[in-house]
Amino acid sequence: MQIAVIGTDEFVLGFRLAGLRRVFVADKETYQEKMSEAMSDSNIGILAVDAKDLDFLPTNVRTKYLDSIQPVVVPVGGDESDLREKVKRAIGVDLYKTEDE
Amino acid sequence: MASHEITPTRSVLMELKKKIKLSQSGYKIMKMKRDGLIIEFFEVLEKARKMRAGVLSDYETAMRKITVARAVEGDIAVKSAAYALKADPQVKLGSKSIMGMMVPKVEIAESLHTNITEKGYGVISTSTLIEEAAAAFEKLLDTLVRAAEIETTMKKLLDEIERTKRRVNALEFKIIPELKDSERFVKFRLEEMERENTTRLKHLKKKGEAAE
């Protein structure tokens, strides 16, 4: 299984430096298309995405991708809002809440 | 099943009793499964929170290093080093079972760290800044792979918890009460029929005696 990365030119450059070969360069317009291409590739086990770029996707598509198991989509550099939302829905309590909130 | 759709016979009553027993034992097991899953989940949750924070801090360090490298060495130097790399890290996806639910287990097939002599670009021509940035991203990748495993486990656990919770609730608040309702209806109807029969017999007996 391969590790892949998708994002802007700057974002993927570092991952290229770490040795990744499955790299998808996408900007705001082509993001959704590239993302679905990456998601349908069965060779990819893990897909690293820039958390900021996920805003380019419609909400339902984003949720679908983040829930995906094969490949696993791991947002890099963002907060934990997606997991937090899921935990809240399944358990019924906001477990990520800290005391100062 | 609404009670008026049921034929009040003894065999139906027996059938209903059997169904209630089965649903109740199923409900107990489901409840235990739900509790077990939640306990598992709490263990994973702590790990996942740490992992996310780890990914974030590693990402920030790596980004800082690559920005410095790009500023000092120039974009082209960094890019050429990146494109010259020969490594291709692979991961192996296995699976393990939690409460009968399969969760993936990610293993790094080969080390993510590429030896400097095997990188594919010249050691002398590339600066330490690029080398440092590469090392930082390798570290980020390592964290990312581990985070992927934990996050998938958590997502699957959450899905399973939701599903189990729905089943438990359906059994507790819908299926079992409805079955009990039907059972009560059949029981009362049978008793009523019994009473009707007795009065009818008494009536007939009286009629017979009067005819004699």
Position A68 in a domain: yes
Q: Do the domain assignments include residue B75?
A: yes
Q: For residues B78 and A7, what is the distance between their CA atoms, to the nearest angstrom?
A: 18
CA distance A33 to chain B (A): 23
pLDDT at A14: 86
- Number of independent structural domains in chain B: 1
Calculate what percentage of chain B has a pLDDT beyond 70: 89
CA distance B156 to chain A (A): 8
B52 occurs within a structural domain:
yes
Does B143 reside within a domain? Answer: yes
DSSP B115: P
Helices (H) and strands (E) in chain B, counts: 4, 2
How many beta-carbon contacts under 8 Å exist across A and B? 119
B38 interaction partners in chain A (CB closer than 8 Å) = 91
Averaged pLDDT score across all residues of chain B: 86
Assigned domain for B199 exists = no
pLDDT at B111 over 60: yes
Q: What is the pTM of this model?
A: 0.76
Label residues B72-102 b or e (16+ Cβ within 10 Å = b).
Answer: ebeeebbeebbeebebebebebeeeebeebe
Residue B4 lies in a domain: no
- pLDDT at residue B209 greater than cutoff 60: yes
Give the pair of three-digit tokens for residue B174: 């819908």
Nearby residues of B11 by Cβ (< 8 Å), 6 or more positions away? none
**d(Cα B103, Cα B47) in Å, to the nearest integer?**
15
Domain annotation covers residue B85: yes
| Least confident residue range of B62-71, B119-128, B168-177 | B119-128
Kindly identify which residue of chain B lies nearest to residue A1, measuring between CA atoms: B91
* Six-digit token string for A63: 């949720």
For residue B45, tell me if it sits in a domain: yes
Q: With H, G, I as helix, E, B as strand and everything else as coil, classify residue A16.
A: helix
Is the pLDDT assigned to residue B93 strictly greater than 70? yes
Residue A72 lies in a domain: yes
- Centre a 10 Å sphere on the Cβ of residue A89 and count the other Cβ atoms it contains: 11
Q: For strand B101-108 and strand B91-98, is the pairing parallel, antiparallel, or unpaired?
A: antiparallel
Contact B91 A45 (CB under 8 A): yes
Question: Which residues on chain B are in Cβ contact (under 8 Å) with A14?
Answer: 62-63, 66, 133, 136-137, 140
Using CA atoms, how far apart are residues B38 and B35, in angstroms rounded to an integer?
A: 5
CA distance B108 to B93: 9
Q: In this structure, what CATH number is given to the domain that contains residue A22?
A: 3.40.50.10580
Using 50, 70 and 90 to split pLDDT, how confident is the model at A19? confident
Q: Supply the pLDDT for residue B117.
A: 64
CA B187, CA A68: separation in Å to the nearest integer?
A: 50
Domain of B41, in residue numbers: 19-165
Structural domain for A87, as ranges: 2-91
Residue B136 or B82, more confident: B136
- Residue B119 belongs to domain with CATH number: 1.10.287.3240
- Type of residue found at B26: G
Q: Is residue B139 scored above 90 in pLDDT?
A: no
Tell me if B193 is assigned to some domain.
no
pLDDT at B5: 79
- Tokens in use for B116? 């400097």
Q: What is the pLDDT of residue B114?
A: 66
Could you tell me what percent of chain B has a pLDDT over 90?
41
Are residues A62 and A54 in contact, defined by beta-carbon separation less than 8 angstroms?
yes
For the segment B65-84, the average pLDDT, to the nearest whole number, is 86
Quote the pLDDT of residue A99. Answer: 52
Residue B118 DSSP label? G
Q: What total of structural domains would you count in chain A?
A: 1
- Verify whether the Cβ–Cβ distance A13 to B79 is below 8 Å: yes
